[in-house]
């Protein structure tokens, strides 16, 4: 970084100060996280909902049959047909992905359920053309905070991940989807509603009996883990066997909504304020895929406009001013730029944002991408460390999935042991 002008270097230092979370802070965050997990299980409750899933059985690996799974994530809808043969822990899977159109995320409930049922119908017609099908059992992975009661209703508490569809919050999401399927005559019976973290945990447990935690690092971020009923005071009135196990869907995206410990920057505050649900999902808004590109964009716009240093001087940055115009994968592409002169980063910025940064500006841009990715990974590690601390695990298998886990740089940055 020798050739970087002094004012830009100062800005890099400022950003490093803002986005770095050191080991001591990580430990303090994990410890606070443990007490918040506990509070969520108590009758009083806290920021983290700690939803009982009523998922109390675990696969043995000997299950057999053909099942459908529908995964409604933040960006895509995935339909899978899974075949479990006799052989233990083995499975075959066919799947199709459908993009959730942006306008649907703020459209009507009927449009949403109709779209999902149409995708399922298309899937069946494509993969089973002309076949006479028995009714297939469908597990619906609904990756939003839905509280289940013990007779398996799934009431959506609140939308997360930028969704804002009226008339769904506070309602059971199963009957309207069943109705849309019936109307289309699709031979499917909806048999289970599950969060994606619980799904990840259970699916991973099918192949690995040591599995204890399921995590999603994707558009949103969350985890589920195995608790004993005796540790869930808010269910004590149900007189469950205290030693029986139940999966808890933490909904940890809501960690620190009370702003007690997370080192929020001015950019995090803007993201929250301009989101459809201000004040909610504080932790998620600092770490999840939906927000990483936006954080990066907000910093760049601020650097250009606040003129503490000369940055993209004289450039027309109007394309960069469009909210949510940068995807989290943009950050991983920058981090993965193999060229010393950051040629790929330069070309991406020219093509996508119509800006032509200088070499020192590219250096700052790369450092910023690393800082945002590293902060996301380090804070995510606090959640995993907190569950392990709460349960007293020295070793645990964690199943993980999601676009940020698969594509962004969690693996380079994750300080699991620092956070513990
Ligand atoms: C959001 C949702 C949560 C989901 C997570 C990962 O945090 O509220 O239910 O598990 O995203 O998709």
Q: Whose CA is nearest to atom 8 of ligand 1?
A: 144
With the most atoms of ligand 1 within 8 angstroms of its CB, the residue from 144, 156, 223 to mutate is 144
With cut-offs at 50, 70 and 90, classify the pLDDT of residue 415.
low
CA of 131 to the centre of ligand 1 (A): 36
More confident call, 249 vs 130: 249
pLDDT reading at 411 higher than 60: no
pLDDT at 263 exceeding the cut of 80: yes
DSSP helix/strand/coil, 118: helix
| Euclidean distance between CA atoms 367 and 12, whole angstroms | 7
pLDDT attached to residue 410: 54
pLDDT, tens only, 144-180 = 988 877 666 789 989 998 899 999 999 999 999 999 9
Share of the chain above pLDDT 90, in %: 86
Q: Is 253 in the pocket of ligand 1 (CB under 6 A)?
A: yes
Q: Give this prediction's pTM.
A: 0.93
Would you say residue 401 has pLDDT above 80?
Answer: yes
Give tens-digit pLDDT for 347-365. 999 999 999 999 999 999 9
Q: Does the annotation mark 143 as catalytic?
A: yes
Which pLDDT belongs to residue 1?
A: 62
Is there a contact between 200 and 222 (Cβ–Cβ < 8 Å)? no
Strand order from edge to edge, sheet including 211-217? 51-52, 245-249, 221-228, 211-217, 397-401
Containing 14, the helix (H) or strand (E) segment is helix 6-19
Ligand 1 centroid vs 148 CA: distance in angstroms?
15
Check if 198 has its Cβ closer than 6 Å to any atom of ligand 1: no
Question: Is the CB of residue 280 below 6 angstroms from any atom belonging to ligand 1?
Answer: no
Taking only the tens place, the pLDDT of each residue in 91-117 is 999 999 999 999 999 999 999 999 999
Average pLDDT, the chain: 93
pLDDT confidence of residue 409 = 54
Residue 197's pLDDT is what? 97
Q: Could you tell me the distance, in angstroms and rounded to a whole number, from the CA of residue 210 to the centre of ligand 1? A: 23
Q: How confident is the model at residue 57 (pLDDT cuts 50, 70, 90)?
A: confident
């Amino acid at each position: 970084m020798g050739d970087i002008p002094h004012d830009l270097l100062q800005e890099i230092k400022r950003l490093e100060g803002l986005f770095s979370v050191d080991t001591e802070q990580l430990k303090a965050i994990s410890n606070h996280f443990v007490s918040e997990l506990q509070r969520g299980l108590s009758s009083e409750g806290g920021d983290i909902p700690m939803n009982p899933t009523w998922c109390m059985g675990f696969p043995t690996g000997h299950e057999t049959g053909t099942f459908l799974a529908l995964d409604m994530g933040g960006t895509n809808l995935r339909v899978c047909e899974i075949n479990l043969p006799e052989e233990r822990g083995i499975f075959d899977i066919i799947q199709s992905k459908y993009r959730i159109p942006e306008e649907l995320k703020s459209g009507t409930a009927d449009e949403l359920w109709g779209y999902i049922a149409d995708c399922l119908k298309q899937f069946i017609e494509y993969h089973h053309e002309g076949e006479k099908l028995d009714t297939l059992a469908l597990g619906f992975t609904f990756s939003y905070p839905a509280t289940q009661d013990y007779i398996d209703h799934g009431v959506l508490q609140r939308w997360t991940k930028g969704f804002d569809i009226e008339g769904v919050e506070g309602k059971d999401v199963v009957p309207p989807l069943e109705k849309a399927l019936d109307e289309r005559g699709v031979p499917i019976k909806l048999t289970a509603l599950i969060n994606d973290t619980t799904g990840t945990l259970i699916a991973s447990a099918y192949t690995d009996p040591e599995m204890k935690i399921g995590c999603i690092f994707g558009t949103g971020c969350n985890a589920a883990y195995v608790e004993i009923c005796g540790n869930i005071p808010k269910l004590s009135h149900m007189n469950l066997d205290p030693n029986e196990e139940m999966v808890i869907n933490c909904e940890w995206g809501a960690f620190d909504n009370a702003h007690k410990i997370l080192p929020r920057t001015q950019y995090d505050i803007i993201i929250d304020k301009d989101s459809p649900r201000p004040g909610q999902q504080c932790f998620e808004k600092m770490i999840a895929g939906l927000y990483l590109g936006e954080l990066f964009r907000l910093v760049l716009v601020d650097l250009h406009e606040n003129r503490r240093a000369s940055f993209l001087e004289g450039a027309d940055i109007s394309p960069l001013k469009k909210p949510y115009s940068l995807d989290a994968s943009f950050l991983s592409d920058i981090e993965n730029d193999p060229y010393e002169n950051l040629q790929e980063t330069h070309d991406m910025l020219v093509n996508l944002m119509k800006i032509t940064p200088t070499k020192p500006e590219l250096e700052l841009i790369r450092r910023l991408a690393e800082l945002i990715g590293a902060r996301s990974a380090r804070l995510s590690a606090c959640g995993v460390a907190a569950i392990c601390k709460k349960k007293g695990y020295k070793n645990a298998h964690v199943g993980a999935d999601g676009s940020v886990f698969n594509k962004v740089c969690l693996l380079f940055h994750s300080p699991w042991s620092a956070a513990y």
